[in-house]
Structure 1
């Protein structure tokens, strides 16, 4: 089929691509022009083109900054713990929901689990302080009413880490089940029927049919998560964090906020952003290579 004929026949599909292409060009590729700020002594009034080139000086300044290494350590630590705790949660939820036979209960559960995803982290932060606050939190009020000492959920680094991780699971796990549930619908139902006839129990069906059927989805999401190991959202550590736990809650995104928006050092902030992008690309390529070598599957 000639290309012109194909375009005329399926022009509606290409028309639908206009908006997503425009989005990526505007918000993903367009900002790449600003990468050169990392190599310039950026002056807001002179603009990007007229600012003086300084080469790698800004990179040396960032890499000599001790706060950069502290925030990098915290970013890697929090993302690694999130990977251990938050990554399996949607998978387990999806399998449990898939095994539920009552349709009304399944729909109700999905709705309840999805809701936290649509709540702003500012609101979630307020809920966390109302529930886990040391002096005024609901949990500690109940705990102290029983005669026990309050638990420093938000002021002790170890308790704060647990609170941070569990809050992340509550906010994201329900929404993350969507991809797994979609993949589960693609598994051949005859495999489960054959397993039932062979006397396989529920756990064996999950282990030998469900998990292998989800392998490609799990690997893809794992590679994407590994690619984000040095990239972390700003809202969650900023809202839940405080001065008492700053040694753990101060991450690269809050570091960029301080030096970029608060101090006006846009060059240094761009250097950190470029560093995150390059390292993230290396992580993705490395994880994809390791996945292809070990399982024969990857995303590239």
Structure 2
């Protein structure tokens, strides 16, 4: 097979003191070799978008058809997490990371003693081979001084096919939308290869939380892309689909007294207090093999 031209265009999200390039042989095989030639890394003033675009010469043409609904369940964390299949689960090595859920937002961070930490979902939904998809997610970092790095994987359930984006979350930020686009190179259509997402805590910290909310994964077969694309807030293309934001029902804090004739003693307003918020902080919850 002849050599093909692949490209990657991006803006660094932090200051680099020593630029480097790595090539990972991600697929294990006993047949053939990776062939690499004519590698070039240079700065350019023509890159105005803050997103990362990986040009793939093997990108198939658009398959046509309309966009799907969200393939993920419990996208806004309004319900308790649990099994990774059809819901969110937590993975940690060697133990689960600190995490909890409160008012429809999920919180997590990874300590230095934990090698790997993620919240993930196997959607039980399919995406055919060569079909384009889009993931959007709202993220924030509550650390007052330290930026956190988060890595997103959109993948088949068995990791046989995947795409990766890494984002730096500024310290003390509020929830903002991050976007990831790509396509399947294998069919994600069986019980072991359904569409899945993983959200990894790439940075470790002693405190502070990564906030996660409103996660969406959709089939977008007619979307225009160049390969795998990663967009931080404010840089996504204009055709990005809106997030599925589920607003909780508002509870009244007080009910005013009924009308009473002049001179009658006032009634005490009936106070309605919301039920206690459910949280999940146990280290034994949601353990999966990631």
Which bin holds the TM-score, normalised by the shorter protein?
A: under 0.3
- What TM-score, normalized to structure 1? 0.22
Q: Which has the larger radius of gyration?
A: 1
Instruction: Please identify which structure carries the higher helix content.
Output: 1
Larger fraction in strand: 2
The normalised TM-score by structure 2 is 0.22
